Amino acid sequence: MPSAPLGGTVKSRLIASIALSAAVLLGTSGCALVSTQATKLPYSPGDGVNIPDSGPLKVRNVVIISDADGDAANMIAAIVNETDEPQTLSLELGEGSTAQTATVRVGARETVSLGDSAENEPPLALDAIDGLPGSTIPVYFQSGDSEGVLYQVPVLDGELDYYGDFQP
């Protein structure tokens, strides 16, 4: 009578190999199966912030450049209108009695770059902001029929060369 090979049959060894491979694969990549991929998370790659859900206008890389005391500041940003109609962006900066309001009009299928000297588009001048460089200021952005969104916008100074011209 022939005896079975040591270690069981070929079929049982194959099943054991597959099970071991699956365990190793799951053990080494299990976290990646259930965790969020960092490359899929939206973020602002510049010094400013991108504003989501402010309406039909897309507001990109918003930053406030202030003097050292926060007595005056300039807001720079790119505002993109991808619609076929002119749109107005309404802003409310700060809170309470020191809040300031401003509007920016953007033509159909145009981009307004606040602070772009090549297009003669000055930054949005602000008076007595309630925030020093290194802090953030709450700004409410709204365009079109949207409800708008409140977002914390960073305040920087002219320490970096490329912001020097924007400091009041």
Over pLDDT 90: what percentage of the chain?
A: 44
> What are the backbone angles phi and psi of residue 30, rounded to the nearest 5°?
-60, -40
Mean pLDDT of the chain: 85
Q: How much is the average pLDDT of 72-79?
A: 93
pLDDT band at 82 (very low <50, low <70, confident <90, very high): very high
- Comparison of pLDDT for 150 and 1, the residue scoring more: 150
Q: According to the model, what pLDDT value does residue 31 have? A: 64
Dihedral in degrees, nearest 10, Cα atoms 63, 66, 72, 74: -30
* DSSP E strands, 35-158: 49-51, 57-66, 72-81, 87-93, 100-106, 111-114, 124-127, 136-143, 149-156
Rg of the chain's alpha carbons, rounded to an integer?
28
Cα distance between residue 166 and residue 168, in whole Å = 6
CB atoms within 10 A of CB 25: 10
Q: According to the model, what pLDDT value does residue 29 have? A: 66
Over residues 152-168, the pLDDT tens digits come to 999 998 888 888 888 88
